[in-house]
A and B are shown apart, each in its own frame.
Chain A
Amino acid sequence: MGVIVEHFPLYAQGFLQTLRICLFSAVGALVLGTILAGFRVSPVPPLRAVGSAWVTVFRNTPLAVVLFAVAFGLPELGVNGSYFYFGVIGLTCYTAAFVCEAVRSGINSVSAGQAEAARAIGLTFSQSLSLIVLPQALRTVVPPLGSVIIAMIKNSAIVGAFGVGGDLFAQGIQLTSAQGYAAAGVLTGVLLGYLLLTIPGGILLGVLERKVAVAR
């Protein structure tokens, strides 16, 4: 356990790196996933096709394969860039598929009459989605979305293995195998780091859930 105190700066760096990966990916996945959900319920068939293709591909592919494809596929195609962004792109694309489905189920939970009334006063499809349907979908979407984001935080440990490095889990690996500390002690620190991300995340979601529930 002394290792946690002894190498606190290393843990702190790892924590910040994981936080950075998660923040970028969460924002990316929430935005992209919501747009994809919009695609899936849109009246335009090609958009619907893109939405369902995305979900089919990314929801049914292991994250490690997605990350592999991004980190090694893009350079193969001549796209070079930092592994940090490759990792964020991979995690974003993957998580967006789950966000999309959570948001879509929320959209379906809003009664069809709401969208009809919105269209009847002349709102466009995207206005009706963003002003009427999504705000009401939010209430049902928050809990599943919370699970998706918490899963994403944990998944970020896999991102570290694709050249990104420096994240919480990678720092743990570095301490155990390169510096020979006992795995149990090191991983306790790693675990605490992840809990420090996920538990406040969960509390924040609870607060948000109550807030959106009141707003009606």
Chain B
Amino acid sequence: MSVAVVIGVGLVAFALGLAAGFWLPPNGRIRLGDRPVPVRRILLPFTAQGISKRAFEAAVRLAKAENATIMPAFLARVPRQLPLDSPLAAQCGEAMPLLEAIEQRVTSQGVGVDSRIARGRSYRDALRRLLEEEQFDRVIVSATNSPNKGLTSDDLEWLLERVPAEVLILRPAPEDTSRISAGALSGHF
């Protein structure tokens, strides 16, 4: 009798196991990491000139430590003569491989990524519009000595004064000339 009960319990357990296996995704169980957790968002603005490697690495380190999502945002300048909502095929031609390269690098580090493209009459205007639409916990930018390479010192001052998020400005350094460019893409894109 007791043997029959044990066998019966065993069969029921087996059937339940089968049902659970059928119901769950084939390649995994529910992991702790899959549970929704509050997501922090780190904005990483950049322009067609590329993105500072130091700023990128700082963003990845912080994102890992804070379980945050990195939001690389390409800032596009719309020429004065064009409407602000114009398609920008030429700039997108620069931005798309760059975003792809950044995303590949971020995901290879096990960090979440959610890209954006923002348009404006200037880089600052594009950033302002993005910040009006979305909220971020941190903004990471790299200061540059060259006014043509991205956000100017005036822009950074504006960022510190106006943005309701923690702003991390990295000083220019010799190694900061090292930038992530579209050439960093792996595979066919």
**Do A and B make up one complex?**
no
